[in-house]
Structure 1
């Protein structure tokens, strides 16, 4: 059977909060949907368009551009912002957004956040730097050591 999916590469992104000294900081991620590898991320004290732009820019440094690439997200205002849509266009991506109220469309990023929060994340980090360091450590574990059911027990990076 020949697949009719028209994109060479597909990516998915979302954001969540991380508590630092009782204050919310924010984490944006970008996942390669082909192998579930986390390819871009950014932590910030602000939940704004620059946060997701920085995560996408980092991700695009790790992939070889093709003519048909898709970036999927929810309908959050930061993903619909002018700054982000211009970044998507700059990278030659086709932007896709979830249907309103349909959380299943963005399931891979939500699954990553669930794994991070239940397997690794502290309830409250003592400093912003310690939260960034811990996120970086989990990403290395997730990409190189953690078995994935989606990948039949393999890791995203073999």
Structure 2
């Protein structure tokens, strides 16, 4: 398990994953499901104006019920697929963001403060060095120790955050 490499990758992607997570939360909150009548209009008047004739002309009650049920099912499938895609994207970003937040909170106080200021608040390394009175080399050494501790947390609790063991393994197959 190359957890150090995975943690470094997650730290690098943290700002964009956090931003993407917020965007998807807003998108999911604003999602308006399509209705069966909208599906019916879309299928019976494909690109036509309102004064055109409907495609279906039969008036059989069984046929109308079957058609209406089909439209409800089609609407459900469309909505379900859209919701599933948004949810999968959200979960992918969220599991990495939540792990980083948790792993930083689990660090000893100095490392927690250092990583919070550097990663969660997104400060430049010069600001971090100044705030914690560290040289650049010393900051990198402390950050590396924090990353090692976070990697140990990942190794112990990867399943809790929804990671699979295969995701954490080093892919040497591509290099062969």
The reply to whether TM is greater than 0.5 is: no
Q: TM-score with structure 1 length normalisation?
A: 0.28
Larger radius of gyration: 2
Q: Larger % of strand: which?
A: 1
